[in-house]
Chains A and B, each alone.
Chain A
Amino acid sequence: MAPVLQSSQPWVEKYRPKQVKDVAHQDEVVRVLTNTLETTNCPHMLFYGPPGTGKTTTALAIAHQLYGPELYKSRVLELNASDDRGINVVRTKIKNFAAVAVGTVRHGSGYPCPPYKIIILDEADSMTEDAQNALRRTMETYSKVTRFFFICNYISRIIEPLASRCAKFRFKPLTEEIMTTRILYICKEEGLNLDSEALSTLSCISQGDLRRAITYLQGAARLFGSSISSKDLISVSGVIPEDVVQALFSACKSGNFDTADKEVKNVIAEGYSVSQMLSQLYDVIVESDDISDEQKARICKKIAEADKCLIDGADEYLQLLGVASNTMCAISNMPSFGS
Chain B
Amino acid sequence: MLWVDKYRPKTLDKVLVHQDIAQNLKKLVTEQDCPHLLFYGPSGSGKKTLIMALLRQLFGASADKVKVENKNWKVDAGSRTIDVELTTLSSTHHVELSPSDAGFQDRYVVQEIIKEMAKNRPIDTKGKKGFKVLVLNEVDKLSREAQHSLRRTMEKYSSSCRLILCCNSSSKVTEAIRSRCLNMRISAPTEGENFCDTKVRRQLFQPMSMYIVKVLEFIGKKEGLQLPSGFADRIAQQSNRSLRRAILSFETCRVQQYPFTTNQPIPPMDWEEYVSEIASSIFKEQSPKRLFEVRGKLYELLINCIPPEIILKRLLYELLKKLDSELKHETSHWAAYYEHRLRLGQKAIFHLEAFVAKFMSIYKGFLIETFG
Where the two chains meet, the residues of A that have a C-beta atom closer than 8 Å to any C-beta of B are: 6-14, 51-52, 56, 80-84, 86-89, 122-123, 126, 153, 209, 211-212, 215-216, 218-219, 222-223, 236-238, 241, 243-244, 247, 256-258, 261, 266, 268-276, 306, 309-310, 312-319, 321-322, 325-326, 328-329, 334, 336-338
- Residues of chain B with a CB closer than 8 A to A14's CB: 33
In chain A, what residue has the closest Cβ to B152? A80
Q: Is the CB of A82 within 8 A of B111?
A: yes
Given contacts A86-B78, A318-B332, contact A211 B180 (CB under 8 A): yes
- Residues of chain B with a CB closer than 8 A to A80's CB: 151-152, 156
A241→B155 CA distance, assembly (Å)? 30
Q: Is the CB of A10 within 8 A of B34?
A: yes
A88→B31 CA distance, assembly (Å)? 43
Q: Is the CB of A247 within 8 A of B334?
A: no
Given contacts A80-B151, A318-B313, contact A337 B33 (CB under 8 A): no
Contact with A along B101-112 (1 / 0, CB 8 A): 000000010111
A142→B1 CA distance, assembly (Å)? 65
Q: Is the CB of A215 within 8 A of B35?
A: yes
- Residues of chain B with a CB closer than 8 A to A243's CB: 204
Q: Is the CB of A84 within 8 A of B172?
A: no
- Residues of chain B with a CB closer than 8 A to A312's CB: 340, 343-344
Among B34, B187, B205, the one with the most A-chain Cβ atoms within 10 Å of its Cβ is: B205
In the complex, B185 has a CB within 8 A of chain A: yes
B171 touches which of A83, A209, A276, A334 (Cβ 8 Å): A276
Q: Is the CB of B182 within 8 A of A89?
A: no
Q: List 16 A-B contacts (CB under 8 A).
A: A8-B33, A8-B130, A10-B33, A10-B158, A52-B179, A56-B155, A80-B151, A81-B151, A88-B78, A271-B187, A306-B336, A313-B172, A314-B339, A315-B309, A325-B329, A338-B334
A2→B332 CA distance, assembly (Å)? 65
Given contacts A13-B159, A329-B329, contact A51 B175 (CB under 8 A): yes
Main secondary structure of the interface of A (DSSP, over half): helix
B41 touches which of A52, A81, A271, A276 (Cβ 8 Å): A271
Among A236, A238, A315, the one with the most B-chain Cβ atoms within 10 Å of its Cβ is: A315
Among B34, B129, B151, B155, the one with the most A-chain Cβ atoms within 10 Å of its Cβ is: B155
Given contacts A81-B149, A247-B204, contact A318 B159 (CB under 8 A): no
In the complex, B257 has a CB within 8 A of chain A: no
A197→B21 CA distance, assembly (Å)? 25
Given contacts A88-B79, A274-B171, contact A322 B336 (CB under 8 A): yes
- Residues of chain A with a CB closer than 8 A to B340's CB: 309, 312, 314, 318-319
Q: Is the CB of A328 within 8 A of B329?
A: yes
Given contacts A257-B325, A316-B169, A325-B333, contact A271 B35 (CB under 8 A): no
In the complex, B199 has a CB within 8 A of chain A: no
Given contacts A10-B36, A257-B325, contact A123 B42 (CB under 8 A): no
Known: A122-B152, A257-B328. 8 other contacts (CB 8 A): A12-B35, A84-B108, A86-B78, A218-B33, A237-B183, A238-B170, A266-B205, A317-B313
What 8 pairs between A and B have smallest CB-CB spacing?
A: A88-B78, A271-B41, A80-B152, A275-B171, A322-B336, A318-B336, A337-B333, A219-B182
Q: Is the CB of B40 within 8 A of A273?
A: yes
Q: Is the CB of A215 within 8 A of B180?
A: yes
- Residues of chain B with a CB closer than 8 A to A10's CB: 33-36, 158
B329 touches which of A83, A273, A337 (Cβ 8 Å): A337
Q: Which of B111-157 contact A (CB under 8 A)?
A: 111-112, 115, 129-131, 145, 148-153, 155-156
In chain B, what residue has the closest Cβ to A85? B111
Q: Is the CB of A271 within 8 A of B149?
A: no
What is the distance, in angstroms, from B275's C-beta to the closest C-beta of chain A?
Answer: 16
In the complex, B72 has a CB within 8 A of chain A: no
Given contacts A313-B343, A319-B336, A338-B333, contact A126 B171 (CB under 8 A): no
